[in-house]
Amino acid sequence: MGPRRLATTGGLAALVSVLIVLLYAARIGRRIGEPGVVSGLVVVLLVAVVAVAAWFAVVSARVRGQVARVARHRPGAPLFVGRPTTALTAEARNLRAGTRGLPPDCPDREHVVYAILTDRVELWVRGDDAPRWWVTLPAPVAAGTVRSGRRELDALTVRDASARLQLVPTSDAARAWPSRAHRAAAVAHARELLQR
């Protein structure tokens, strides 16, 4: 099962589990005094919690594994988890670098890793043993935003004579579910490193 299908299946399983719990709770609300009803409700709630927790754990483990892989190849380099964008897909086609793992060939919770070295910034896509491509530093940095689902996320674009790279840093740690504060700190830290 591919990563997109796995994430979609996990999300659907979690949604169905929650709906079953709600429907079951509505049905038994009238029969709460009958034997076995409360224990049945507890079992259904536990199944729903386990399904949601398992999906979160799979996504988190995938992000940690991706960061660890890049760290083995680039020890000591600042690494940022980020979101893949359609601009990356367009640039990958332009450079003939392959679009596997980039939109639309990836699930919503897919991530990429950016490695910021002293002389370049690299894009690592999950499963790659080498950077997909990079931009040589120093390079001009343009700030902007990109839409991801219903949210707008801060984006940084760096460009050299041969390539362009759009960065949407969400965390400077192996974090799959960053808060708004983590995203803001990651963008500020990445901008600082790119403009040094």
Which residue numbers in the chain have pLDDT < 50? 1
Tens-place pLDDT, residues 141-175: 999 999 877 788 999 999 999 999 999 999 998 88
pLDDT at 19: 72
Q: Sort residue 33 into left (φ over 0), alpha (ψ -120 to 50) or beta.
A: alpha
Question: Which H helix or E strand runs over 136?
Answer: strand 133-136
Residue linked to tokens 């370049």: 120
